[in-house]
Amino acid sequence: MNLGQTQQRIRWITLAILVGSAILLTVLDSTGALSGVMGFVRDPLTYISSWTSARTDSVADIVAGPRNLETALQEIDRLRTENDTLRKENEQLLEDAGEAQILRQMFDRAAETPEYRRITADVIGQDTNPAIQSILINKGYDDGVRVGMPIEAARGLVGQVYRVTNNAAQVALLTETASAIPVRLGSTRATGMLRGAGRGALPTIDWIDLQYDVQVGELVTTSGLGGKFPENLVIGRVVNVERNEAELFQQATVQPAVDFNAIEIVFVVTEFNTDNTEIFSEGP
């Protein structure tokens, strides 16, 4: 091989390399990878370091994933516990507000009739005896409670003390069949006898004279007649009237003002003014 052929071959190889390089640069530029290549050419160590750092960060994220999940689960447990605590506190506040409302109503009721002497008592149970509708309270003989004393709630009359122990008492509700309370109607001023109708039924007022035009919605209160109950204790409102001109008297059904299943605090009326009529029961 002579020298001329060798030089010609070198020129062709050089030309091919230049053309190939130009094509490669064109392709890299069109794909956007030319800047990375130029960065590598200018500063290969920086480019390699950046590539390695990116890969290291990805691996670190994968390793830290479970740790972050565990932290998130712990935070969820903490928030759940805090939420339960706040809910219990809110329920307690609502209960306290309800009790405060009851006490406020009872205070207002006591202020309306300062001539009555009362003691407060908590309802501690509902009597399960089917023979009598009653509740149990936590005040008894040692507190001055006696059989026959009226029991009043914030909204009206509850009933009458039926049995007493040293520190508790049983109260027969006004809906009890043996209950008989002299009452007066608010608008017509008619009087009658309120009698309980038993469990699940509304009490009725008997012996209302036909001369009175009793209306649904009339307020019913104690009349004070007979001396067993003070007058003007709220009982409820008339919800139905049965009137028959062929009869001597009419009858009214009453919806009690007190929800006997929801009573929490009551008054025991230990002393009230009443007219003494015992002399008229004596013989001549």
DSSP string, the chain: --HHHHHHHHHHHHHHHHHHHHHHHHHHHHHT-HHHHHHHHH-HHHHHHHHHHHHHHHHHHHHHHHHHHHHHHHHHHHHHHHHHHHHHHHHHHHHHHHHHHHHHHHHHHHHH-TTSEEEEEEEEEE---TTS-EEEES--GGGT--TT-EEE-SSSEEEEEEEE-SS-EEEEETTSTT-EEEEEETTT--EEEEE---TTS--EEEEEETTS---TT-EEEE--TTSSS-TT-EEEEEEEEE--TTSSEEEEEEEESS-TTS--EEEEEEE------GGGGS--
User: How many angstroms separate the Cα of 131 from the Cα of each of 123, 149, 162, 171, 196?
Assistant: 20, 21, 13, 13, 13
Tens-digit pLDDT profile for residues 224-248: 998 899 999 999 999 999 998 888 8
Separation between Cα atoms, residue 221 and residue 94, nearest integer Å: 32
Separation between Cα atoms, residue 254 and residue 199, nearest integer Å: 14
pLDDT at position 147 over 60: yes
Confidence category of residue 76, pLDDT binned at 50, 70, 90: confident
What pLDDT, on the 0 to 100 scale, is given for residue 283? 52
What pLDDT, on the 0 to 100 scale, is given for residue 74? 83
Q: Would you say the pTM of this structure is higher than 0.85?
A: no
Average pLDDT over residues 75-90: 82
pLDDT at position 139 over 90: yes
Separation between Cα atoms, residue 261 and residue 57, nearest integer Å: 67
Of 29 and 153, the one with more pLDDT: 153
What pLDDT, on the 0 to 100 scale, is given for residue 167? 96
What pLDDT, on the 0 to 100 scale, is given for residue 67? 64
pLDDT at position 205 over 90: yes
Confidence category of residue 280, pLDDT binned at 50, 70, 90: very low
Of 90 and 213, the one with more pLDDT: 213
Average pLDDT over residues 177-199: 93
Best CA proximity match to 177, nearest among 214, 202, 210, 153:
202
Confidence category of residue 65, pLDDT binned at 50, 70, 90: low
Mean pLDDT, the chain, rounded, equals: 80
Which range has highest mean pLDDT (45-49, 79-83, 92-96, 122-126)?
122-126
Confidence category of residue 273, pLDDT binned at 50, 70, 90: confident
Separation between Cα atoms, residue 121 and residue 106, nearest integer Å: 12
Least confident of 2-11, 114-123, 162-171, 204-213: 2-11
Of 129 and 159, the one with more pLDDT: 159
What pLDDT, on the 0 to 100 scale, is given for residue 49? 57
Burial class (CB in 10 A: 0-12, 13-18, 19+), 135: buried
Q: What are phi and psi of 252, to 5 degrees?
A: -130, 140
Tallying the residues shown for the chain, one arrives at 284
Instruction: Please state, as a whole number, how many other Cβ atoms lie within 10 Å of the Cβ of residue 223.
Output: 21
Q: Over pLDDT 90: what percentage of the chain?
A: 45
| CB 270 within 8 Å of CB 117 | yes
Average pLDDT over residues 107-132: 81
pLDDT at position 79 over 70: yes
Distance, first Cα to last Cα, the chain? 170
Best CA proximity match to 151, nearest among 126, 130, 122:
122
Confidence category of residue 210, pLDDT binned at 50, 70, 90: very high
pLDDT at position 30 over 80: no
**Widest CA span of the chain, in angstroms?**
172
